[in-house]
Amino acid sequence: MLEISPRWRKVLRDLWLHKARTVLVVLAIALGITGAGSVLTTWAIVREVVDVGYRASNPASATIRVDSVGTGDVERLKAIPSIADVQAGRTIGARARVQGTFVPVRLFVRQDFVDSPIGKLRAESGAWPPGDGAIVIERSSLDIAGSGIGESLWVAEGEGQPIPLAVTGIARDVGLAPGWMEHVVYAFVNSQTMERLGAGSRLNEVLFTTRDSTLSQDAIRRIAFEAKAALEANGRAVRDIEVPVPRTHIHADQMNSLLYTQAGFGVLALILSALLALNLVEAMLAGQVREIGVMKAVGARPSQVATMYFAIAGFLGAIAAAIAIPASSAIGRQYANLTAGMLNFDAGGAAVPGWVVFVQVAVGIVLPMLAASLPVVRGSRLPVSAALRDYGVTASDAGSSLLAAIGGLTRPLLLSLRNAFRRRARMARTLLTLSMGGAVFLGALNLKKSIRLAMDASFDAMNYDMTLGVAPSRAVPELEAAIASVPGVRTAQAWGSGSAVVVRDDGTWGNSFGLSAVPPVSAFFSPSLSAGRWLGEGLSREIVVSARLQDSEPALAVGATVTLRIGDTTSTWTVVGMIPATLGSAWISRDALMAVTGDSMVSRAVVAFADTAAAAQSETRRLVNERLMSSGLRVNSSMVDDSRAAIEDHLLMVADFLSVMGWVMLIVGGLGLASTMSLAVMERTREIGVLRAIGARHGAIHAIVQIEGLVIAVTSWLLAIPLSAPMGAVLGGAFGRIFFRTPVPIVPQLAGVITWLGVVVLVSAVACAWPAIRATRISARTALAYE
Amino acid sequence: MISLRNVSRTFETPAGRFTALSDVSLDINAGEFVTVVGQSGSGKSTLLGLLAGIDRPTAGEVRVASTDVHTLGERAMSAWRGRAVGIVFQFFQLLPTLTALENVMLPMDFCGTFAARDRRKRAVGLLARVGVADQASKLPHTLSGGQQQRVAIARALANQPPVLLADEPTGNLDSQTSADVLALFDGLVREGQTLVMATHAAGARAYASRTVSLADGRVVRDEVLARA
């Protein structure tokens, strides 16, 4: 039978003897690994799913929109040496009737759904490809569509009447931003169905991929223009060219930024749990100093002693990792699914990569060993004579003259205050964990409030309740009058819309972006600008862009003059201002748009309702739709509140994750306080015995310990308040830049500060309960005989 | 076996410099039973600490079992100490979570003396030698003071050290138990063990072959005694 040597028996029995402390160390490290491991797991899964999934879909390098794809066009482009694959398709805007109103639909048609090499789709359930008269819905649009397999979706295109299309399947297109985010129904139909809808069967898009997969966006754009020339030589009219950033999902940058920010918190949780582990290992070693002296006296070398305690730390860390890894895997996978879903990827069922588990095991073992290194090395090097004289009772630090100078303090309270500051390094570590926990907690709390405020600021710019799209376009007064005549409508305003591309110096075009054309002075739209100014009156060709658009088209800097192609015309515009990303891509004057395009008709309107009640608004929406349809218009509409809710709910879910981090740190901080107080009681066993001997009762001893803990807790609360300011700035800055392209201002909430005080007082009471009870159990006789 | 030359030890304390030993020179031969006597603060424990290598002289040379102890580094000192000296403390200093047997095996474990498969048997033998073999599986807190000190003596003998050092070994024991322990020491010396014992116990004189008296850190008397 394997004989365990005496030194390792001692190690194992010491762990068992101090079960509570052993459990605390394991718990502290496990919490830190769970927090950091969850974020690491999420990042690893999302990165792999998105990278692999996106690449596997073979996304188009560029898309060229033409009037009609003709015979030989695909082969002609395939003949261009730098082009690998070519595929024809069509994307058209339609509308679907959902619960009495119309919602926008984007229908995708492919030359060949089954064998399409570009932008591969994945059939999730039901039939594939879409058959005649059938429709397959993209899974992220299911909620908006309100119809599932076996049901019908009533779809209309152009001037046609809505016809029922059988929903026969659900598919996923990872190249699309989620339909719920865009508030549009994405769906797939075949050419025959397009004919039934009255849209004809022609295709009008050519997608291609390049042979060289490492080309830059500009290099791809040049190839696209080569293809454009080839198409034009064959008599095609090219409408626009879209060249996405190669090899990158459109929202991948945002997601990486978010995950990196959360990773920062994961690392912070890990550091705080390491500090707690340091406190606990120090406590463990403080009670072992004399035994270390004895071991050295009987021949143990410093390295042998150090190995024993490093082994303890590593062993406890391994146990902590064994507990934490299943938890972090479960949490990480859930969160990965949520996060990947925001990019329209499916991470459900994704396995946790092996290296993530390995990293957590390694950190779990190494971290406590690192945390233990200072006290272990110090303890193992302590001279034997000094170690043998140690009985775990500390010499008192110099009593604070400041405390003594404060009048009106009772002796027990003074004792508590002095005790709290006796061991400054340990006090500092405990304060750091508690106050950082508070700062993150307050920061996350403030962030949620600030998300709502940022959404308010964005959506407050929209002084309307509903947007409408109509076809065919109408004159402004006619459209406004028709809408305004509906009961329940307070007022309406017609806006223009279109799309534009930046014409670059080399003659190539940037990617197309949407234009909203409004009367410059409009009661309906009052945005806050992040730079520059709003549009001027009259026909001046001024444009206000969003920060996100400016990121992808750097030429659109405030103050710059750019050439824009709008429809078939080219004109020069001046960028005068910048707005938050949530308010659309670009804004110009309605009159200026009409002057440039020569088209005085509009196809968009915004409507403000008289009644704020949801039921009344729903009814008014229905009436407006009916009224306009009865006048021969095709209509689709969406409510501003619905759009806001969809985005805000998902942002708040992400903020909730940060709140969870705050709670993790709070628990770590509470454990830190509990361990500090336990150690404090142990160190002052003789002192407590003396207090007993001079008449201190249970209540007084209990109070001394509780008050000492409370002093530390309240001090941490005071520190957390100023710490939450930079914490909030980091969170708001990162979050805001990721989602809104401008920092989200963090507004400290007094309610949160008060809540945190309550939480920290409660944590202190709980953390100090057991040490206080232990202190009351120390008898005078036992304490005075303590060695 | 033991040689001290002009050994001094001073301590820096908040109250100022304190000289525990001053210019002590001493030779102890193999097989001697030397008691070191003196009042509290005379330097007895300091002297033993220097002989054990758990303290370092401020000046002078300490040579024990053919080794210049004062020149050893911390690591070498530990290794030397485990094999060269066995230490018996006033307060026993047994590890509380190890049984009596395991406490005795511990020095062999740290120093790698004796084959691992023989250590248990050797430890049982040592416990029998000191009269507490039946307490082998007990934890220290369940043993009486005398039993704990016997276990501590067995531990001190574990690595067969040439020198046994005992610092007030009977200071925490009643008179009967003290006498038993002293008798035990006497038996070991008769078997050839060299023993240096700092003590207040009057009864120790009867067993010692020599007594060195310290006062204020200096040797004031070095008396050879007739052993029975």
Is the bond preceding A472 in cis, omega lying within 30 degrees of 0?
A: yes
Q: Does position A782 have pLDDT exceeding 70, yes or no?
A: no
Tokens of B214: 């310290």
Nearest Cβ partner for A299 among B78, B116, B120? B78
Nearest Cβ partner for A291 among B83, B87, B95? B95
Q: Does position A165 have pLDDT exceeding 80, yes or no?
A: yes
Residues 163-222 of B with CB under 8 A from A: none
What's the pLDDT tens digit per position in A489-500?
999 999 998 889
Q: How far is A383 from chain B (nearest CA, A)?
A: 7
Residue A400 pLDDT: 46
B85 at interface of A, judged by CB pairs closer than 8 A: no
Please, are residues A7 and B98 in contact by the beta-carbon 8 Å criterion? no
Report the share of chain A in percent with pLDDT over 90.
33
Q: How is residue A149 annotated by DSSP? A: T
Residue A476 pLDDT: 92
Report d(CA A122, CA A128) in Å as an integer: 9
Q: Write the CA distances from B32 to A223, A627, B84, B212, integer angstroms.
A: 101, 120, 16, 12
Please, are residues A34 and A324 in contact by the beta-carbon 8 Å criterion? yes
Paired strand residues for B197: B35, B166
Report d(CA A512, CA A735) in Å as an integer: 27
Report d(CA A607, CA A588) in Å as an integer: 19
* Inter-chain residue contact A297 with B116, CB threshold 8 Å: no
Q: Which of A231, A193, A250, A269 is nearest to A64 (CA)?
A: A231
Q: Does position A406 have pLDDT exceeding 70, yes or no?
A: no
Q: How far is B105 from chain A (nearest CA, A)?
A: 7
Nearest Cβ partner for A297 among B54, B109, B117? B54
Q: Write the CA distances from A565 to A428, A508, A549, A574, integer angstroms.
A: 63, 11, 16, 14
Average pLDDT over residues A569-580: 92
Report the share of chain A in percent with pLDDT over 70.
92
Residue B94 pLDDT: 95
Higher local confidence (pLDDT), A357 or A385: A357
Please, are residues A470 and A635 in contact by the beta-carbon 8 Å criterion? yes
The number of C-beta contacts closer than 8 angstroms across A and B is 87
Q: Does position A407 have pLDDT exceeding 60, yes or no?
A: no
Q: Sorting pLDDT into bands at 50, 70 and 90, what band is A396?
A: very low
Task: Write out chain B residues lying below 8 Å of A383, CB-based.
Answer: 54-55
Q: Sorting pLDDT into bands at 50, 70 and 90, what band is A60?
A: very high
Amino acid identity for residue B40 in this structure:
S
Average pLDDT over residues A306-316: 90
Task: Write out chain A residues lying below 8 Å of B110, CB-based.
Answer: 7, 295, 298-301, 304
Q: Which of B185, B187, B206 is nearest to B196 (CA)?
A: B185
Report d(CA A703, CA A709) in Å as an integer: 10
Q: Is-above-0.80 flag for pTM?
A: no
Please, are residues A527 and A545 in contact by the beta-carbon 8 Å criterion? no
Please, are residues A531 and A547 in contact by the beta-carbon 8 Å criterion? no
* Inter-chain residue contact B93 with A290, CB threshold 8 Å: yes
Average pLDDT over residues A595-605: 91
Nearest Cβ partner for B107 among A299, A385, A388? A299
* Inter-chain residue contact B87 with A297, CB threshold 8 Å: yes
SS3 A679: helix
Residue A106 pLDDT: 93
Q: Sorting pLDDT into bands at 50, 70 and 90, what band is B196?
A: very high
Query: Which sign, positive or negative, has the C-alpha torsion A69, A75, A81, A82?
Result: positive
Please, are residues A185 and A141 in contact by the beta-carbon 8 Å criterion? yes
Q: How far is A381 from chain B (nearest CA, A)?
A: 8
B11 at interface of A, judged by CB pairs closer than 8 A: no
Q: Does position A335 have pLDDT exceeding 80, yes or no?
A: yes
A465 membership: H or E segment, kind and range: none
Residue A109 pLDDT: 93
Rounded mean pLDDT of chain A? 84
Q: Does position A645 have pLDDT exceeding 60, yes or no?
A: yes
Residue A150 pLDDT: 93
Q: Which of B222, B85, B94, B48 is nearest to B159 (CA)?
A: B85
Report d(CA A432, CA A439) in Å as an integer: 10
What's the pLDDT tens digit per position in A436-462?
888 887 877 777 777 787 778 778 888
Closest residue in A to B93 (Cα) is: A294
DSSP chain B: -EEEEEEEEEEEETTEEEEEEEEEEEEE-TT-EEEEE-STTSSHHHHHHHHHTSS--SEEEEEETTEEGGG--HHHHHHHHHHHEEEE-TT----TTS-HHHHHHHHHHHHT-S-HHHHHHHHHHHHHHTT-GGGTTS-GGGS-HHHHHHHHHHHHTTT--SEEEEESTTTTS-HHHHHHHHHHHHHHHHTT-EEEEE---GGGGGT-SEEEEEETTEEEEEEE----
Q: How far is B194 from chain A (nearest CA, A)?
A: 17
Report d(CA B148, CA B95) in Å as an integer: 11
ipTM: 0.93
Among A159-173, A239-253, A578-592, A717-731, top mean pLDDT goes to A159-173
Task: Write out chain A residues lying below 8 Å of B79, CB-based.
Answer: 299, 301
Average pLDDT over residues A94-112: 88
Average pLDDT over residues A736-755: 70
Residue A397 pLDDT: 43
Average pLDDT over residues A32-57: 86
Pairing of strands B33-37, B194-198: parallel
B111 at interface of A, judged by CB pairs closer than 8 A: yes
Average pLDDT over residues A313-330: 93
Higher local confidence (pLDDT), B35 or A177: B35
Task: Write out chain A residues lying below 8 Å of B123, CB-based.
Answer: none
Q: Sorting pLDDT into bands at 50, 70 and 90, what band is A395?
A: very low
Q: Does position B56 have pLDDT exceeding 70, yes or no?
A: yes
Average pLDDT over residues A99-104: 82
